[in-house]
A and B are shown apart, each in its own frame.
Chain A
C-alpha cells in the first residue's frame, strides 16, 4: 500500500482499453479500461458474476475479446499468445492438476514448458512447499494447492502474474499466509493483477483497485481513495448521558447520516463532523459514553459503489 504512488511513475505492463465481451447476447464485460503499472499490485474487485474473471481471461489470452484492445508488455494476448505466456504467469480460477502428479513433478514439468524457467527448488522453499514435494496433487490441502499454483505461475520468470480468486475457499490462517506470499512476489519486482471479491484482501494488498459491477468499472482508485470518496467515511458512535436535539445533530458539518438505536447514536461523516460533535457535546455538558470513532472500511465503500448501479 505504501508504494501506490511510486508505482505509477513506471510504465504500464498491462493495458486494457474499451474491452467488451458477451456470451450469447449477454454482455459480461462492457467497455472496461485500465492499465497496470510495473511493480504494482492491481486489484479487480467486484461481486460474483461481475465480469472480473472474463476480463483477466482476455488479458491471459484465454478468451478472444469482442471489441477493445488488450496489451501485455506491448503484446497482443491472442495474436502473440506464445510470447505473452512467457511474460505473464497465471493462476486460474477452478483449474486443477493431474491428481496423481506430485508437487515435484508438477514443478519440473511446468519448468520445462518455459524457455528461461526459475529454479524450482528455491521457489518451492519460498512458498513453503518443500515438505510436500513428494505429495500428490490430489492429497494437498486448499492452501497448499494455491501455493503450488502461485509457484507454477512464477516458474516461467514472468513480469506479471494474474491471481484469480486466490484465497477463495481457504481458512483465515491460510488466507493470511497467502497474502504474505503475494506481498513477497511483488517485493521481488513482479507485477500482480489480483482478482478478488474479498474487501479485506483488496484493502490489505492492492495499490490500486478497479471496482467492477455488471461488467463495468464503477471506480478506480487507491483503497484509501475509494474509502474517502464514500459519503460518511468516518463513523462516530456514542451513548449520550442526556437526550440530544435531532435538529442540532442534523446541522453538524459534513454529516452523511444519523442513526438512533437503543439510546445509542451513530453518525457518519468526516473528521470535521467528529470535531463538531465533540464541541456540541461539550457545550451542552453531555457526556458521551462509549465513544467510538472508526474509519469506514473498503466494505462500506464497496457497498456504496456497487449498490448504486443496482
Chain B
C-alpha cells in the first residue's frame, strides 16, 4: 500500500470541459439502446415506410407528391424528438439521482459541464440521424434534397434546440430516472403525432392543423415542408419554434435542481 510507483503516468493536459465531453461521449457510445433509438430507429422507420409501394406513388391529392416525400421531414423530426424526450432526460435525471452532479460540484468544475456535454452530444447525434434520414430519402427513394437548404437547416436546428429544451424540462421535473423515462414516453407520442407521424400536418383537419402549428412539432413540420419545396419557411413557424425554445429553456432552468 505504501509503495510509490517509479513509473509516472503521462499527464496530457486536457481542458476540464473537453475532458467531461470526452468522457460523456464514451459513455454515450456505451448505451446501445440509446444509440438504436437515436441513430437506428428513424432511418429504419423511413426504410420500412419507403418499402410500402403505395408510399412511392405520386398522389394528386398531395399536389403530385408521394407520401415518402412527406415522410422524410417527419422522420427528421422524429429523430430530434426521440433524442430530446427519450434518450437525454433519464441520463440527466439519473446523474442527479445518483449524486453524480453533486460529486462534480465538489471539484473546480461546475456540474453544468455535464449537462452541456449531454445536450451537445444528444443534439449532435440527433442532427446526424436527421442527415442520415435525408440521405436515405435521396439515395434510396429519390426524395429531392431540400431546395431551400438554409431555411431547412435553420428550422432543423431550431427544432433540435426546442427538443433538447423540452428534454431538459423533463429532466428538471422528474425526480428519478424511471419517472423521466415515463414522462418522456408520455410526451413522445403526442409530440410525434403533432409532427405528423400518423397524419402529415398538411393533411390534418383544419382545427387540428391550427392547433398543431402552434406547437413546436407542427410548426417545425410545416417549416421543413416549405423549405423542402423551395420556399423560405414562414416566420410565424420559425417564431413559434424560437418562442417554445425560450420558454422551455427558462422553465427548465427555473425548476432544475442539482440534488
Contacts and interface: CB of A to CB of B under 8 A. Distances in A.
Nearest to A96: B98
B1 A112 contact: no
Interface stretch (A116-124, A209-217, A221-229): A116-124
A114 B23 CA distance: 16
Contacts of A120: 9, 11
B53 interface: no
Contact of A112 (B5, B7, B19, B31): B19
Contact of B98 (A95, A126, A156, A187): A95
Given A101-B23, A109-B19, A96 B100 contact: yes
Contact of A62 (B11, B14, B19, B105): B105
A308 interface: no
A117 B5 CA distance: 16
A211 to B, nearest CB: 25
A132 to B, nearest CB: 15
Contacts of A126: 1-4
Interface string B4-16: 1101110101111
A111 to B, nearest CB: 7
Contacts of B66: none
Interface string A166-182: 00000000000000110
Interface in B86-127: 95, 98-100, 102-109
Contact of A92 (B5, B102, B108): B102
B5 A109 contact: no
Nearest to A110: B107
A37 to B, nearest CB: 22
Contact of A113 (B4, B8, B31, B109): B109
B229 interface: no
Contacts of B26: 101, 105
A163 to B, nearest CB: 12
Contacts of B31: 100
Given A85-B107, A114-B108, A184 B100 contact: no
A162 to B, nearest CB: 9
Contacts of B100: 95-98
B90 to A, nearest CB: 13
A147 to B, nearest CB: 10
A86 interface: yes
A61 B99 CA distance: 15
A112 B108 contact: no
Contact of A95 (B9, B18, B102, B109): B102
B20 interface: yes
B31 to A, nearest CB: 8
B23 A105 contact: yes
Contacts of B254: none
Nearest to A90: B106
Given A100-B27, A120-B9, A113 B107 contact: yes
Contacts of B2: 126, 184, 187
B5 A122 contact: yes
Nearest to A121: B9
Chain B: interface residue count, which band?
20 to 34
A82 B110 CA distance: 9
A115 interface: yes
Given A95-B103, A109-B19, A101 B27 contact: yes
Contacts of B19: 108-109, 112-113
A128 interface: yes
A272 interface: no
Interface string A57-77: 000111000000000000000
A200 interface: no
Contacts of B13: 112
A111 B108 CA distance: 11
Contacts of A89: 106
A128 B1 contact: yes
B1 A85 contact: no
Contacts of B15: 112
Interface in A270-301: none
Contacts of A108: 19, 23
Contact of A121 (B5, B104, B108, B109): B5
Given A92-B106, A109-B23, A113-B19, 18 more contacts: A90-B106, A92-B102, A92-B103, A95-B99, A96-B98, A96-B99, A97-B103, A100-B30, A100-B31, A111-B11, A113-B104, A113-B107, A113-B109, A114-B108, A119-B9, A120-B9, A121-B7, A122-B9
Interface of B: 1-5, 7-9, 11, 13-16, 18-20, 23, 26-27, 30-31, 95, 98-100, 102-109
Across the A-B interface, give the 8 residue pairs with the lowest CB-CB distance, nearest first. Answer: A95-B99, A112-B19, A121-B9, A90-B106, A122-B5, A96-B98, A95-B103, A113-B107
12 contacts: A62-B105, A85-B106, A85-B108, A92-B103, A100-B30, A100-B31, A101-B27, A108-B19, A112-B15, A117-B11, A119-B8, A184-B1
